[in-house]
C-alpha cells in the first residue's frame, strides 16, 4: 500500500504484561527520532499522540485468568477507532506500543475498515511467542499472551467481538514468523486455529528470504493486503535487550532488516505496529533505535 501520509498512534499499554515498563515504549520510539526520520523518507507524519491508558496501580486486576480485561478492552476500542479513521482518511496507521495486547485493537480497526468494503485483510505476526493463549490455557492470565488468539476468534468475547464480528482475520491468511516460545496448552490452540507458523527452525533451515516470500504469499492470497505486527522480542536479545519477554535464539540484525525490506518491496502492507519496547531494561535506548531502523526499512529506506 503506497501512502504519503502516516498516522502515528501511541498506545502506552502496560496492563497486559507481567513485567512493567512497556508503557514507555511509545516515548522511547519518539525519542529515537521516529517522526523526523519518517519525514526524511518523504512521508507527511501526523502524530495523534497517545490513547489514554489507566495505570495498573489504580485499578483491580480482576479475573486472574484474564487480568485487566475491561481496561484493556476499553483501550483497544480507542486504538481500533483511530486506526479505522486513519485508513478511512487515506493514511497509513502506525501504532506504537505498549504491550502486545494493543494488537487486538489495531487489527480490529484495520479489519473493520476493509470488512465494511466486503474485503479481507491478512496478518503477519513477527514474534518470539505464539500469543495464542486463551484464559483457559494461559499460565499467567496476562492478556499480552492472548492477542493473536483473540484476532483469530478465540478468547474473551469482549476482545474477540469488537465491532460485532469475529474473527478479524482468516486463519489461512495469518502467518507467525520467528516463533520459539510456546506454552504447553497454547500449542493446542495454535493447531486448532490453522494459522501458519514459521518457527526459528524454519528460518534457520530455509533462510529469511524464502520464509518471508511464502509468508507474504499466504497473507495476501485473496486479500487486499496485510497488517504487520512486529514484536521487538522477535529479534535476538543480543540486538534487542529492552523487550518485555526476551527469548534467546532470535532473528538476527540482518535477518530483521531483510524481512522489513521484503515487506516494503511487495507493496501490500496496509498498516504496522511495533510493540513490547521496554526502556526500563534497555541499554541507552538501543532497542527503540533498532525498532526505528526496522520501521525505516519497512517504509522504504534503502542502502543505495
The CATH number of whichever domain residue 32 belongs to comes to: 3.40.800.10
Q: Where are the alpha helices (DSSP H) in 221-278?
A: 253-266
Angle at 6 between CA 208 and CA 228, to 5 degrees: 30
Neighbours of 118 (CB within 10 A): 6
235 found inside a domain: yes
Which residues, in sequence order, are bridge partners of residue 275?
A: 231
Indicate whether this model's pTM tops 0.85.
yes
Partner residues linked to 214 by β-bridges: none
**Cell numbers at 171, concatenated:** 486463519
Q: At what angle do helices 103-115 and 69-88 cross, to 10 degrees?
A: 40
Q: What are the residue ranges in the chain where pLDDT is below 50?
A: 1
Query: DSSP state, 94?
Result: E
Residues 236, 249: Cα–Cα separation, whole Å: 6
**Domain that residue 20 falls in:** 5-298
| Residue 304 domain-assigned (yes or no) | no
**DSSP code of residue 238:** T
* CA atoms within a 13 Å half-sphere pointing along the CA-CB vector of 186: 23
Residue entry with cell 497486559:
16
> Considering the domain boundaries, does residue 303 fall inside one?
no
Give dist(CA 150, CA 113) in Å, integer. Answer: 18
Q: How many domains does the chain have?
A: 1
Classify strands 92-97 and 44-50 as parallel, antiparallel or unpaired: unpaired
Q: What is the pLDDT of residue 90?
A: 96
pLDDT of amino acid 153: 97
> Among residues 144, 147, 77, 145, which one has the least CA distance to residue 112?
77
Task: Give the pLDDT score at 2.
Answer: 55
Q: Within a domain: residue 289?
A: yes
167 in any annotated domain: yes
Q: Is residue 78 part of a domain?
A: yes
pLDDT attached to residue 1: 47
Query: What confidence score (pLDDT) does residue 17 get?
Result: 86
- Give me the active site residues, please: 100, 127, 129, 131, 144, 231, 233, 276
Amino acid at each position: 500500500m503506497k501512502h504519503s501520509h502516516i498516522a502515528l498512534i501511541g498506545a502506552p499499554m502496560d496492563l497486559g504484561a507481567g513485567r512493567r515498563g512497556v508503557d514507555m515504549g511509545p516515548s522511547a520510539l519518539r525519542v529515537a527520532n521516529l517522526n523526523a526520520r519518517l519525514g526524511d523518507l518523504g512521508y507527511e507524519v501526523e502524530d495523534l499522540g497517545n490513547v489514554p491508558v489507566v495505570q495498573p496501580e489504580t485499578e483491580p486486576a480482576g479475573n486472574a485468568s484474564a487480568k485487566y480485561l475491561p481496561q484493556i478492552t476499553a483501550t483497544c476500542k480507542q486504538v481500533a477507532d483511530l486506526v479505522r479513521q486513519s485508513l478511512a482518511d487515506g493514511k497509513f496507521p502506525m501504532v506504537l506500543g505498549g504491550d502486545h495486547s494493543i494488537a487486538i485493537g489495531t487489527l480490529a480497526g484495520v479489519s473493520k475498515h476493509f470488512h465494511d468494503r466486503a474485503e479481507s485483510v491478512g496478518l503477519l505476526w513477527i514474534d518470539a511467542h505464539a500469543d495464542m493463549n486463551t484464559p483457559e490455557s494461559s499460565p499467567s492470565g496476562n492478556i499480552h499472551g492472548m492477542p493473536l488468539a483473540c484476532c483469530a476468534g478465540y478468547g474473551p468475547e469482549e476482545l474477540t467481538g469488537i465491532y460485532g464480528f469475529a474473527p478479524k482475520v482468516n486463519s489461512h491468511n495469518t502467518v507467525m514468523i520467528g516463533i520459539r516460545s510456546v506454552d504447553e496448552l497454547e500449542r493446542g490452540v495454535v493447531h486448532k486455529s490453522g494459522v501458519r507458523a514459521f518457527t526459528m527452525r524454519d528460518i534457520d533451515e530455509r533462510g529469511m528470504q524464502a520464509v518471508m516470500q511464502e509468508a507474504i504469499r499466504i497473507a495476501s492470497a485473496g486479500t487486499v493486503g496485510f497488517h504487520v505486527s512486529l514484536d521487538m522480542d522477535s529479534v535476538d536479545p543480543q540486538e534487542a535487550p529492552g523487550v518485555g519477554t526476551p527469548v534467546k535464539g532470535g532473528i538476527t540484525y540482518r535477518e530483521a532488516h531483510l524481512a522489513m525490506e521484503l515487506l516494503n518491496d511487495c507493496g501490500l502492507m496496509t498498516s504496522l505496529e511495533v510493540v513490547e519496547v521496554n526502556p526500563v531494561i534497555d541499554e541507552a535506548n538501543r532497542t527503540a533505535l533498532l525498532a526505528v531502523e526496522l520501521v525505516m526499512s519497512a517504509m522504504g529506506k534503502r542502502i543505495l
